[in-house]
Amino acid sequence: MSDTHNGAHPRVNDRRRFNMDGNPRTQDGSQEQPHPAEQVDSKQEQAAEASTSEGAGPRQEAPAVDAERQRLEAELDASRRRVDELARAYQALDRDREEFKQRLSRERERMIDVERGNVAGALLEAIDELDRCLSMSGQGANSALGQGVKMIRDGLLSKVQGLGIERLQVVGQPFDPNTAEAADMEITTQPEEDQQVVAEVRAGYRMKDRVIRPARVKVAKYVAPAQA
């Protein structure tokens, strides 16, 4: 009677080389048991591989990433500082350029004023001569010749004023050495007239804020009257 009929389990020959656990089989189909030492080594290798793949990798990569980030941040900060330095240098250069332009413009205006003053000097001398003629003519100033001289004098004075030159008004004003020169002195018994300009010997002229020729004047000096 066969084994089946005797109640025994039928024998099945499994021809696969490896079992379900991945271990090799023997030729008769039974599972080949690895040596205990090999089992321990295999387990240690698997544990080492697991620890390397799971834990060691991220720990080794993190410092490199941090170092690279720190390097990039340092380069970014250096670039920002360099940009700030260049911006400040450009602003300073622009200020220097504007200041130079202003100085050049002021110097040019000053040279123009000097040339105007030099040109006006000849006209002022001519005006002085005409003023003396009118003052010496006396009643003749109202004659036809006197009126012609006055017209020429007024025309030259208008040309001078067109250059930005104006005549100083000093008569009746306190004497100022910045605008006038004392050419003569006149005694006065009035205390309020002391150090006042009482007459103009030669006219003075100003261009803008600069006196190009001071006036020559006669200044009053107070002297107390003698007591009887």
Q: Which pLDDT does position 218 carry in this prediction?
A: 93
Q: Which pLDDT does position 19 carry in this prediction?
A: 60
Buried b / exposed e along 111-120 (16+ C-beta atoms within 10 A): eebeebbeeb
Q: How confident is the model at residue 123 (pLDDT cuts 50, 70, 90)?
A: confident
- Kindly report the average pLDDT of the chain as a whole number: 77
Q: What would the mean pLDDT of 185-211 be, rounded to a whole number?
A: 88
Query: Which tokens sit at 89?
Result: 């240098």
Specify the higher pLDDT residue, 57 or 191: 191
Q: How confident is the model at residue 220 (pLDDT cuts 50, 70, 90)?
A: very high
* 51 burial via Cβ count (<10 Å: 0-12, 13-18, 19+): exposed
Residues across the chain: 228
**What are the residue boundaries of the structural domains of the chain, listed by start?**
57-165, 168-228
The CATH architecture assigned to 168-228 reads Roll (2.30)
Q: Which pLDDT does position 57 carry in this prediction?
A: 47
Question: Is the pLDDT assigned to residue 56 strictly greater than 50?
Answer: no
> What residue type is assigned to position 32 of the chain?
E
pLDDT tens for each residue of 93-103? 989 999 999 99
Q: Which pLDDT does position 13 carry in this prediction?
A: 52
Q: How confident is the model at residue 50 (pLDDT cuts 50, 70, 90)?
A: low
* Angstrom distance (rounded) from CA 47 to CA 18: 23
Kind and range of the H or E element at 167?
Answer: strand 165-167
Q: What would the mean pLDDT of 103-108 be, rounded to a whole number?
A: 90
Tell me the percentage of the chain whose pLDDT exceeds 90: 19
Specify the higher pLDDT residue, 25 or 67: 67
pLDDT tens for each residue of 153-163? 888 888 888 87
Residue 203 near residue 180, CB atoms below 8 Å: no
Q: What would the mean pLDDT of 52-71 be, rounded to a whole number?
A: 68
Q: How confident is the model at residue 209 (pLDDT cuts 50, 70, 90)?
A: confident
